[in-house]
Structure 1
Amino acid sequence: MTRQQHPLGSGFTPATTAEEALDGIDLTGRNIIVTGGHAGIGREATRALAARGACVTIGARDPDRARAAVADIDGVRVSRLDLADPASVDAFAGRRNATGRPLHVLINCAAVPAPAEREVDGRGYEVQFAVNHLGHFQLTRALLPALRAAGGARVVNVTSGAHRFSTIRWDDPHFASGDYEPHMAYAQSKCANVLTAVGLDNRWAGYGVRGFAAHPGVVVGTALNSAAGDEGLRAAGLIDEAGGPVIDPAAGKKTARQGAATLVFGATSPLLSDAGGVYLKDCDVAPLDDEQRPVTPYSIPSDAASHALDPHSAERLWALSERLLDQPG
């Protein structure tokens, strides 16, 4: 699987914006779903895709709030979606499939901030694994009929360079043993996003449905990063002493428009027409890098780690996820 995991030479840079990544691409007649597409990088992706003619549907837990957030963007629908609630996921997919419209792109963007203390959903599942991974896994499988109907579709799982710092806790993915650590739970969920893209591509490429994992960079101002508080953001080199964002795309610190660029690149770029099951960053396929590199205020490692691209682990996660979804609440 890692044979495709090498840069294409796309010509884009870490500073490329979503608008620039879509330059020259006409999305008229294309149907796209963006979970969490009303806030942060999701909103910027929604705005850029709609500007190119796409019909974008946003999945949001609070539809009224989402509609207000995108009221200035034409060509956008909003539908209720709570990724922590399996019934809500099934209802969203059921409504969408009932329209009979093909689905050309699914961008799984929504995520929950890492809680300081372990939190679980109604099934007892650790909330980051439940929302960031399992909810999207359930949604993607449920939307397969619409994706197949497109005659060429893409699923983009929004991940993070944090995937480098954890594998899957096969025997205890929900941290029930009492060793919960919020950043490790986040890293596990982001590793799961990459492995799911690999597993999806292995299964569905023959149907014309390709899977990608996209790292947007670190975007200051999103709910995920703001949860760290000013002290944490300042220590990480993400805000300055006055509280202003530190923007340094080459170091992975981006604006929302720059962060959304890799999402829309994965969703639309013709350069990826023969690719799939790969991890993207900076509007290109990322290089492999398995060297253990610490995160510092000046360096945020985010290249692809081979453990997150391993096809055997992807198969194992797919099977585990199916079992977890089949278990009664």
Structure 2
Amino acid sequence: MSQSQNPLGSGFSAASTALEVISGIDLSRETALVTGGSNGMGLEITRALVSAGASVVVPARNLDKAKAALDGIEGVEVVTLDLMDPASIKTLADTFLASNRGLDILINNAGTMLNPLTRDSRGYECQLSTNHLGHFDLAVRLWPALVKAKNARVISVSSRAHQYGRFDFDDPNFERQPYDASLAYGRSKTANALFAVGLDKRGQAHGVRAFSLHPGGVITELAKFISTEDLKATGYIDADGNPIIDPERNMKTPAQGAATAVWCATSPILDGLGGLYCENCDVAPALPDDSRELLGVRSWAFDPEAAEKLWTLSEELTGVRLDSSNGPVA
């Protein structure tokens, strides 16, 4: 099936919720893994997948907190994961592979946003480390389980912040330039989108397809580094500190924000497609790089040459390489 970065006419909208887009879909024989699946938008993704019958693995740094948030939701397995710790990623992947299960859905949802400059143990900037490199490492290590599932989908939660600019291959970890938290976040979200392009290229022959997406503006713990004053000034919260919900203006509830990730992971309209950037439960339109439109995707986020360059860099930075025929090589 041919594909292009243009809307498909899914029938859903910015206001659709995760439960609405998954209605009528049967995942009773499928296994999903959702990073960040125990809070905010991720919790709504988990609830939706479970509602369709999926068994869901939810990795978390704080197991007690995650288990409390997921209490009462059947079919969920909580495991330990720190995306900035390569040993933690390897342990999770090795344990999952040892269970001999296929992995039908991998949703790379966890993330961090606008942190003050922080580095992981390797010296990598924390937004790049968490949002992209950790998920790259995890997906590559889980490759055999994705292939085993035969028709797997890998979903990367990107953001309209990819519009902030192209990925910086010369100084990805802000070692030679002044740190800018917004720019670092935007570059990590561009990386999320390019990762989907690179993985989809490698996965097509093995039944593994990948998508990236902008979920919409959702006020969750992710916004902890944004001041209340700034959130009020940008119109995301009201005078009492409550989120303003207006999906048509990119202001969503967690359930609405979760919808596009769930749609990408499960919609039959996407069968045979991959490497696409989505928003509002549909494929996003490609817009000119200088467009001032709020949504849409810019060329640098789905450029195949940039995707290949990022893949090579990610292998170098993580020390994990994918042999698409034989699996991960570390």
TM-score range, shorter chain: over 0.9
Match of 2:323 in 1: none
Amino acid at match of 2:135: H
Amino acid at match of 1:322: E
| Whole-angstrom CA distance in 1 between matches of 2:80 and 2:288 | 39
* Helix, strand or coil at the partner of 1:231: helix
Match of 1:131 in 2: 130
Match of 1:308 in 2: 301
| Whole-angstrom CA distance in 2 between matches of 1:71 and 1:227 | 28
Whether contact under 8 Å (1:113, 1:223) holds in the other structure is no
Match of 2:213 in 1: 214
Q: How many residues align structurally?
A: 319
Match of 1:281 in 2: 279
Over 3 Å counting, the alpha-carbon distance change for 1:70 and 1:239 in structure 2 is same
| Whole-angstrom CA distance in 1 between matches of 2:173 and 2:247 | 34
Amino acid at match of 1:34: V
Match of 2:17 in 1: 17
Whether contact under 8 Å (1:215, 1:280) holds in the other structure is yes
| Whole-angstrom CA distance in 2 between matches of 1:112 and 1:247 | 22
Match of 1:70 in 2: 70
Match of 2:119 in 1: 120
Map 1:87-166 to 2 at 5 A. Answer: 87-115=87-115, 117-166=116-165
Amino acid at match of 1:323: E
Whether contact under 8 Å (1:129, 1:189) holds in the other structure is yes
What TM-score, normalized by structure 1, do the two folds share? 0.95
Amino acid at match of 2:253: T
* Helix, strand or coil at the partner of 2:19: helix
Whether contact under 8 Å (1:262, 1:281) holds in the other structure is yes
CA offset digits 1:113-137 (Å, max 9, x no partner) = 321x311110000000001000000
What percentage of residue pairs aligned between the two structures are identical?
Answer: 47
Q: Does residue 318 of structure 1 match 2:311? A: yes
| Whole-angstrom CA distance in 1 between matches of 2:189 and 2:280 | 17
Amino acid at match of 1:271: I
Amino acid at match of 1:321: S
C-alpha displacement of 1:319? 0.1
* Helix, strand or coil at the partner of 1:4: coil
- Point out where structure 1 has 5 or more consecutive residues left out of the alignment: 295-299
Map 1:170-249 to 2 at 5 A. Answer: 170-220=169-219, 222-249=220-247
| Whole-angstrom CA distance in 2 between matches of 1:291 and 1:90 | 38
CA offset digits 1:195-235 (Å, max 9, x no partner) = 00000011111100001002110002x11224212101011
Over 3 Å counting, the alpha-carbon distance change for 1:74 and 1:3 in structure 2 is closer
Match of 1:297 in 2: none
| Whole-angstrom CA distance in 2 between matches of 1:40 and 1:135 | 20
Whether contact under 8 Å (2:171, 2:177) holds in the other structure is no
| Whole-angstrom CA distance in 2 between matches of 1:236 and 1:206 | 45
Match of 2:290 in 1: 292
C-alpha displacement of 1:178? 3.8
| Whole-angstrom CA distance in 1 between matches of 2:208 and 2:171 | 31
C-alpha displacement of 1:290? 2.2
| Whole-angstrom CA distance in 2 between matches of 1:160 and 1:179 | 23
Whether contact under 8 Å (2:15, 2:247) holds in the other structure is yes
C-alpha displacement of 1:246? 0.8
RMSD over aligned Cα atoms: 1.3
Match of 1:79 in 2: 79
Match of 2:251 in 1: 253
* Helix, strand or coil at the partner of 1:57: strand
Amino acid at match of 1:316: K
Match of 1:272 in 2: 270
C-alpha displacement of 1:3? 5.4
Whether contact under 8 Å (1:160, 1:302) holds in the other structure is no
| Whole-angstrom CA distance in 2 between matches of 1:249 and 1:257 | 11
CA offset digits 1:155-206 (Å, max 9, x no partner) = 0000100011121111110011141110100000000000000000111111
C-alpha displacement of 1:243? 1.5
Amino acid at match of 1:102: G
| Whole-angstrom CA distance in 2 between matches of 1:24 and 1:3 | 25
| Whole-angstrom CA distance in 2 between matches of 1:154 and 1:17 | 20
Whether contact under 8 Å (1:159, 1:190) holds in the other structure is yes
